[in-house]
Amino acid sequence: MKGILIILLLSLMNPGLFSQDYEKDIFSTSGGALEITFIAHGTLMLQYNDMVIHVDPVSMYGTDYSKMPKADLILLTHEHPDHLDPEAIVQIRTDNTIVLQNEGCFKVLGFGEVMANGDHKTVSGIMIDAVPAYNMTATNHPKGVGNGYVLHLGDKNVYIAGDTENIPEMSDLKDIEIAFLPMNRPTMTVEQVAEAARRIRPAILYPYHYGDTHTDELVKLLQNEKDIEIRIRKMN
C-alpha cells in the first residue's frame, strides 16, 4: 500500500512522469546490452550500453520529448513530418548530440551531418550504413532521397528501413539480426513485406509504420518461415 501511495503522489506532482509507457525489448550483443523502445509509427529509441539513439523522433503521436532521455545520436530517414519534427529534436539534443540525416532533413534543420545512400560512418564504435529507401510504384519517396540505416551493434546488425518498398537493394543486406520494415502504403503492402523478409531473412522481424494494416496477415504469410520470428509491437 505504501508503494502505491508513493506512485500516486509522484504522479500528482508530475502528471507526465508515467504517461509514456512504451513497450521495450532487450537483446544481448557482443558489445553490450541493446534495449529497443517502440515509440510509435516510424519512431524508435535504442539504448546501447550508455548510448541513447533516437530514430525519427516526432511528437505528433503523443510523445513528450521534454521527458525523454537526451540523445547521443539522432538518425533521421527523411523530411516528411511523420519522421522529422524539429521541435522534438530541440528537446532531446545537446551540444554533443550527433545528428545523421538525409539532405532534405539538413535543409530543414540547418545542422548535423548528411549521409547519402551508400555512405558509412562510425559513431562511438558503432558502424552505421545509410542504405536506399524509396518507392518503385509510387512517387511519395523518390529514389536517392531517403535513407534506411543498418546499425552494427556488436555482433547484431539492426536494419531500420525507413519509408521504402521492397527494393532490389534489400538483397544486398547480409546477416541482419533485427529488421524494421514499414507496412502501410505508400510504403509496402503486407505481401511486399513478406517478400522482403524472405530476401533479408532477419532473425527477428518487426513490422512498423503499419497504420491500420492487419499484422496478422503478415504472420500468416510467413508462418512457414521458421527462422524468422515476427514480433508485433504498437507501431501503427
Question: What would the pLDDT profile of 96-123 be if each residue is shown by its tens digit?
Answer: 999 999 999 999 999 999 999 999 999 9
**Domain residue ranges in the chain:** 22-225
CATH architecture of the domain formed by 22-225: 4-Layer Sandwich (3.60)
User: What's CA 23's distance to the chain center, in Å?
Assistant: 14
Q: How confident is the model at residue 77 (pLDDT cuts 50, 70, 90)?
A: very high
Residue 43 corresponds to which cell in the numbers above?
519512431
Q: Half-sphere exposure (CA, 13 Å, Cβ side) for 15? A: 0
What DSSP state is assigned to residue 223? T
Give the model's pLDDT for residue 21.
Answer: 84
Task: Tell me the whole-structure pTM to 2 decimals.
Answer: 0.91
The amino acid at residue 163 is D
Helix H or strand E encompassing 40: strand 32-40
Instruction: Give the span between the Cα atoms of 170 and 40, in whole angstroms.
Output: 24
Give the model's pLDDT for residue 10.
Answer: 37
